Structure 1
Amino acid sequence: MTTFAELGVDQDIVDALAAKGIVDAFPIQEQTIPLGLPGQDIIGQAKTGTGKTFGFGIPVVQRLGHDPAPGVKALIVVPTRELAVQVFEDMAMLTQNRPTNVVAIYGGKAYEGQIDQLRAGAQIVVGTPGRLIDLANQRLLDLSHATEVVLDEADKMLDLGFLPDIEKIFQMVPAVRHTQLFSATMPGLIITLARRFMSNPIHMRASDPDEGLTQANIRHLVYRAHSLDKDEVIARMLQAEGRGKSVIFTRTKRAAQRLVDELSDRGFNAGAVHGDMSQEARERSMAAFKAGKRDVLIATDVAARGIDVDDVTHVINHTIPDDEKTYLHRAGRTGRAGRTGIAVTFVDWEDLHKWALINRALEFGQPEPTETYSSSPHLYSDLNIPEGTKGRISTAPRTSSVKTASKAPSSRSGEQRRRRHDSASKPESASNDARSTEGAGTHDGGGSEHHDGNAAPRRRRRRRGPRPTDSAGTNV
């Protein structure tokens, strides 16, 4: 292993990394940092979770110098809000020992705070295309001096249709610049993009020869499960021995929220990240997951690339992803930073054709997913689930249906007022009789008492007037 100091990284950055326990460089960092520091354009390709952020972030910070002038000098473009937050945190950590300031620019948050940081002279901007263009059009973001430009997760940006926005952004930055493009996969459109906007880039690909298309430290399990049994299967999986933080991916926002409610009802500490949540709620949920306050995170694919948590042990695909690229990005949430992980995928009967394509593309050698139910013995052995485990670890507290007098003070006080009014209008003996029977109710429905055990008030009979008669004096 090569240390960051041996790669020529400034000592203050080395110290910042060492404070987080990061000393040795990953392969993609080892290959790209020596090229990025002198200003070589780079196309960096590596599987997710292998340290691409530091691969481009360290050269960006070091090339700006120890005390850069105020104003945007570096731009890092990312496809999603969650990834913007993650990259911002990493860049802020790299710059903690120098006066360089970093700002995150993305939608779903108020403009004012972001604008204030730009006006204060932030030198590094991490942002999503939409908000970057919005602020630039309002002349609140000046990219004309951004000589360091990075496209992170470029393949995802193309999948989300951001190519026109990327072209607009490149028109705003200087023609002479240092450009880095990083991605987990490298489709043809990425190569075309690089030829248009980069100057003689070097394509660096970091992979171990024995890994194949998927990471060797991730164990992949594929089950054909019934949709009505999935929740029970997942609940039992979450009680496996050695399970740490777990991420569950669903296809839709509604399915994500439904599963959060279901698992919470079963006693699990689950949170969610999906498009129906406000940005503040998504960030709170992600922060709670990273801090360990919640150990289950249910997400749609919008958050797949922004979940940068080293100690995720399990990834569960509640619904099968649409293609092999999405599968790799989902599974890449576990087995990060050299750790091991487990990726479980449920395949519905109607989605077997999707699995056939993914299996062929990733060379899994599992054309037929194993038919699996919550009671299947192989489920317990595959995931090390203790025998006898059921899908509920706690029950919701039950509330009593019988209301006592102490729990209904307003009705009791109203009853007491009626009794005082009646006792004032009836003989003393009747009042004494009422006091002697107070609290003697049997709740059997056969007496004259109320259900709270108090004697019923005497009913006051309404006096009727004379009945009408006809002309002969006969009652009508």
Structure 2
Amino acid sequence: MALSGSDVIGQAKTGTGKTLGFGLPLLERVTVPADVEAGRAKPELLTDAPQALVVVPTRELCQQVTNDLLTAGKVRAVRVLSIYGGRAYEPQVEALKKGVDVVVGTPGRLLDLAGQKKLRLSSVKSLVLDEADEMLDLGFLPDVEKIIQMLPAKRQTMLFSATMPGQVISLARRYMSQPTHIRATAPDDEGATVANITQHVFRAHSLDKPEVVARVLQAEGRGLVMIFCRTKRTAADIADQLAHRGFASGAVHGDLGQGAREQALRAFRNGKVDVLVATDVAARGIDVEGVTHVINYQSPEDEKTYLHRIGRTGRAGASGTAITLVDWDDIPRWQLINKALDLPFSEPEETYSTSDHLYELLNIPEGTTGVLPRAERTRAGLDAEEIEDLGETGARGARSARGSRRSSAAPAEERPARTRTPRQRRRLRGGVVVDGVTGDSTQAAETAVDTAEGTAEAPAAEATAEPRQPRRRRRTRAGVTAKAADSGTDAEAAVTTAEGSTTAVADTAQPQPEAAPDAAEAPAKPRRRRTRGAATAKAADATAAPAPAPAPQAEAAPAEAGEGEAKPVRRRRRTRSAASKTEATEG
């Protein structure tokens, strides 16, 4: 029916060959140069745009479907491309420019490239939604609808999955034209699960589960094993614990980069790792030959997840064993799954790592411990499989790229050059101007010492005095006296005036014309900031200050100040309330 071009909803149990069920019709409907040479098609039907689109929920399944289609279409030289996230954009864009016949991808990256006009979907003749119940779930439904809107209205649409709830079928009919629902089962196989999979359900304590798993992994006749967990943290923890116990284990979960996930799957397929701990991201469609045991370390969410998990074993007619460890808290959840699938495990037997029935049911040798003997550690391990550089994008890829740049030699030599420049800038902020010196700290230090001791010549003194002029502009009322004490002849004049020294007044009489502009400019800015209350308080302090001083000095200071500098100072502090007091004292 799929070869005839009609819409199909295909449902069959796990491991029965659904990939080639939709893959062969796709490859037959695609027009390739071999068809033109054989006279089966016209040259104008050839195009470099994709003619078929397969949408899958996970990256691992995308890669697996691509490999299967490449194998099936090798004779006709069909060009198949996988498009999924976690890889660099450039290789995928270059492959699309060269021309592609079939595209297999995940919704996110497909929408991204289609939105950038890198992926043309106007020539697609056939659309396939693999694992359709997952694709049309609430998380993927908006993306799938956007992709379908980009496709031609006249096309073939096929949906395939092992589980097809009724609401999903009614939802899928909106995108299909008179679909035919086909359910492929054996006449004597009425159960939902595969008949040649032996199922065991045990009630186990969470603290004893690692020990139970370690002993199950030493059962007789065990091949490759997949262990499924509900959370990413649990998957990473169990993989580490099994590695410490001597097992060759790898992990596949969402917190790993795409390169690490593909490394673990390649090592598992090649036999370098015989235990793969994964979340439900690997429960959909993953087909690895030689998987004899599947262990549900944590109870699945629902019956669909359970069917897909245990379907990783017993594929293509082979037999397998499925073991589910149910915690006390998960008993109600498991009973719902058990009822939905009509299984005889409503009350799982309480089991520990030392229970006799565990050894008998799973053919575990007597005396087995939770650590693999060194003589049996024959696998190469995960490190024997190289990590492929995929040019990963996003924050994780950026962090790894920065880490690799830190480890290289060239950037390490550039780092002192970057940090040396800020040190030079900080050296120039100390009030010492060093002209023509670049990074020589000795000369800068000598110049600073000479300037501080006053041993430099007159030009040097003038050079050090110039940069202090902008500091006068920044004076506040509280800092006028302190900063004036540090500034040359004006400071000496201020000190001698306060002490009542007559010789200092004679010295300051000469630079008075030059100091007058500064004295006139300095009070201009503070005058704007004064308030009426602060001015009154300061005026009171100024009039009360000479009182505790000795009588001769107190009388001499106002007299001298009245001759030279008292009037500019009083004019600076004069306010409306203080003006009358000043006139009274002058009178």
TM-score, normalisation: structure 2: 0.61
The whole-number CA distance in structure 1 between the counterparts of 2:122 and 2:47 is 14
Partners of 2:81 and 2:104 within 8 A in 1 = yes
Partner of 1:337, secondary structure, is coil
Per the alignment, residue 36 of structure 1 pairs with 2
The whole-number CA distance in structure 2 between the counterparts of 1:390 and 1:297 is 20
Alignment partner of 1:182 is 2:148: no
Alignment partner of 1:131 is 2:97: no
Out of 108, 118, 121, the position equivalent to 1:143 is 121
Q: Deviations over 1:446-474 (max 9, x none)?
A: xxxxxxxxxxxxxxxxxxxxxxxxxxxxx
Out of 105, 124, 136, the position equivalent to 1:158 is 136
Moved over 3 A (4+): none
Matches within 5 A, 1:438-453: none
Q: Say what the alpha-carbon RMSD is for the aligned residues.
A: 1.4
Higher deviation after alignment, 205-214 or 282-291: 205-214
Q: Deviations over 1:296-325 (max 9, x none)?
A: 100001121142113211000000001101
Partner of 1:305, secondary structure, is coil
Structure of larger gyration radius: 2
Out of 348, 359, 366, the position equivalent to 2:345 is 366
Partners of 1:81 and 1:306 within 8 A in 2 = no
The structure with the greater share of residues assigned to helix is: 2
Q: How many angstroms does 1:69 deviate by? A: 3.1
Partners of 1:105 and 1:131 within 8 A in 2 = yes
Matches within 5 A, 1:32-71: 35-67=1-33, 68-71=46-49
The whole-number CA distance in structure 2 between the counterparts of 1:377 and 1:154 is 43
Per the alignment, residue 169 of structure 1 pairs with 147
The whole-number CA distance in structure 1 between the counterparts of 2:302 and 2:2 is 32
The whole-number CA distance in structure 1 between the counterparts of 2:78 and 2:99 is 9
Q: Deviations over 1:328-363 (max 9, x none)?
A: 010101101110011100110011001110110011
What amino acid does structure 1 have at the position aligned with 2:23? Answer: G
The whole-number CA distance in structure 1 between the counterparts of 2:89 and 2:156 is 29
The whole-number CA distance in structure 2 between the counterparts of 1:229 and 1:160 is 36
Per the alignment, residue 217 of structure 2 pairs with 238
Partners of 1:231 and 1:259 within 8 A in 2 = yes
Per the alignment, residue 413 of structure 1 pairs with none
What amino acid does structure 1 have at the position aligned with 2:346? Answer: P
Alignment partner of 1:327 is 2:293: no
Partners of 1:83 and 1:307 within 8 A in 2 = yes
The whole-number CA distance in structure 2 between the counterparts of 1:394 and 1:270 is 15
What 5-or-longer segments of structure 1 have no aligned partner? 1-34, 396-476
Partner of 2:136, secondary structure, is helix
The whole-number CA distance in structure 1 between the counterparts of 2:295 and 2:137 is 23
Partners of 1:311 and 1:336 within 8 A in 2 = no
The whole-number CA distance in structure 1 between the counterparts of 2:137 and 2:302 is 12
The whole-number CA distance in structure 2 between the counterparts of 1:367 and 1:338 is 28
Partner of 1:104, secondary structure, is strand
What amino acid does structure 1 have at the position aligned with 2:271? Answer: G
Q: How many angstroms does 1:387 deviate by? A: 1.1
The whole-number CA distance in structure 1 between the counterparts of 2:320 and 2:17 is 17
Matches within 5 A, 1:215-234: 215-234=194-213
The whole-number CA distance in structure 1 between the counterparts of 2:272 and 2:79 is 29
The whole-number CA distance in structure 2 between the counterparts of 1:101 and 1:73 is 10
Q: How many angstroms does 1:194 deviate by? A: 2.7
Q: How many angstroms does 1:190 deviate by? A: 2.2
Per the alignment, residue 352 of structure 1 pairs with 331
Partner of 1:336, secondary structure, is coil
Per the alignment, residue 315 of structure 1 pairs with 294
The whole-number CA distance in structure 2 between the counterparts of 1:317 and 1:227 is 13
Partners of 1:308 and 1:333 within 8 A in 2 = yes
Per the alignment, residue 200 of structure 1 pairs with 178
Per the alignment, residue 84 of structure 1 pairs with 62
Q: How many angstroms does 1:193 deviate by? A: 3.0
Partners of 1:80 and 1:306 within 8 A in 2 = no
The whole-number CA distance in structure 1 between the counterparts of 2:187 and 2:289 is 23
The whole-number CA distance in structure 1 between the counterparts of 2:298 and 2:323 is 10
What 5-or-longer segments of structure 2 have no aligned partner? 34-45, 375-587
Partner of 2:292, secondary structure, is strand
Q: Deviations over 1:16-59 (max 9, x none)?
A: xxxxxxxxxxxxxxxxxxx1112121110011211100000000
Partners of 2:14 and 2:194 within 8 A in 1 = no
Partner of 1:280, secondary structure, is helix
Q: Which has the higher contact order (CA 8 A, sep 6+)?
A: 1
Partners of 1:75 and 1:149 within 8 A in 2 = yes
Q: Deviations over 1:73-110 (max 9, x none)?
A: 10000011111011111111111112221110111111
